[in-house]
Amino acid sequence: MLYFEDYEVGKKSSFGRYEVTREEVIDFARKYDPQPFHLDDEAAAKTHFGRLSASGWHTCAMTMAMLVENMQKQSSAGLGSPGLEQLQWKRPVYPGDTLRVESELIEKRRSQSRPEMGLTKARVQVFNQDDEVVMQSVNIGLIALRDPDAPETY
């Protein structure tokens, strides 16, 4: 199990593989972002996207799936997240794309109000199969401390 004390600022990791399907793009859009360029080839062709594209929120959801899978592989003592500091959709995501994630821990600190947990900040970049950044964010995570009574040593 990886606890807050085990996380090192500056550590980078690469993980995930998510194949974007046309069916999933349309299904997500129908439910959560029913704009024509996410639903219809003809409508999408008339936009700056040029063709059917995934919702940015769908890109976030696919990224979350890869983040959670990676945390489960590492057996992280994650406690959720209070949110993001930054979110940018840099390029469209299209059916047929394959996404992956690169993450770098840029900050960590113990919680002042909750001594049993710490907060981390990670710069997360999502790439397509051409190594183009399609999304980037700064994610805040809550991680359990192994020993809340131990003095800070980092």
The predicted pLDDT at position 91 comes to 98
Domain 4-144 has CATH 1.10.1740.10: no
The predicted pLDDT at position 152 comes to 76
For strands 117-127 and 133-144, give the pairing.
antiparallel
Strand partners, 108: 120
User: In this structure, is the dihedral angle defined by the CA atoms of residues 58, 11, 98 and 129, taken in order, positive or negative?
Assistant: positive
The predicted pLDDT at position 147 comes to 86
Give the CA radius of gyration of the chain: 18
Whole-number Å distance between alpha carbons of 127 and 144: 29
Q: Are 137 and 87 in contact (CB under 8 A)?
A: yes
Cα distances from 38 to residues 21, 63, 88, 90, in angstroms, run 12, 18, 18, 17
The predicted pLDDT at position 123 comes to 98
Q: Are 101 and 70 in contact (CB under 8 A)?
A: yes
Q: pLDDT digit of tens for each residue in the chain (154 aa)?
A: 999 999 999 999 999 999 999 999 999 999 999 999 999 999 999 999 999 999 999 999 999 999 999 999 989 999 999 999 999 999 999 999 999 999 999 999 999 999 999 999 999 999 999 999 999 999 999 999 998 888 776 5
Which tokens sit at 136? 């980037």
In this structure, which amino acid lies at residue 127? F
Which tokens sit at 80? 């959720």
DSSP H helices, 56-140, are 56-74
The predicted pLDDT at position 35 comes to 97
Which tokens sit at 45? 């062709």
Q: With a threshold of 0.85, does the pTM exceed it? A: yes
